[in-house]
Amino acid sequence: MEAFLPPAARNPLRDRLFPNGEWILLLALVVEIALFSAIAQNFSTWENAIEVVRFSVERGLLAIALTPVIISGGIDLSVGSMMGLAGVAFGALWRDQQVPLAETVLIVLLIGCAGGVLNAFFISRLNLPPLVVTLGSFSLFRAIAEEITQGTVNYT
């Protein structure tokens, strides 16, 4: 009898809404929110929700940029360090060197492109594993940023 039912009638609602078991993640999120709301008195406020969204924007933009890389089977571990290097370079050029804002933005974009080209060269031309290349460039970009700041300067 079940063979004659349409597929929507055979599958429970949970299977149609969460075909890959994502309901477990949703359940974990709900439990986390309930736990944090019980522990911290300011967790379930509108102000905290706005701060969480505000701080999630950078990670969301990085996730959008990395989605095609991950879908194609690659990985890029150096994105966070490149973002840090770009931020440090921006601060050093604009604040310390008094480079005009438009030129600073262009230079920082070129720095980011150069890092991407470096990774792409090692991965596509030399056939090195993306994990190894981006782990190495992760350390390289971070070291350059720390050298620029001498490990002490905070650009805000």
Torsion angle in degrees (nearest 10) through CA of 61, 116, 112, 72: -10
Extract the tokens encoding 46: 């509108």
Reading the chain (156 residues) residue by residue, the pLDDT tens digits are: 555 656 555 567 777 777 777 788 889 999 999 999 999 988 989 999 899 889 888 888 888 888 888 888 888 899 889 999 999 999 999 998 999 999 999 999 999 999 999 999 999 999 999 999 999 999 999 999 999 988 876 656
Phi, psi of 24 (to 5 degrees): -65, -40
The amino acid occupying position 122 is: F
Report which secondary-structure segment, H or E, holds 16: helix 13-17
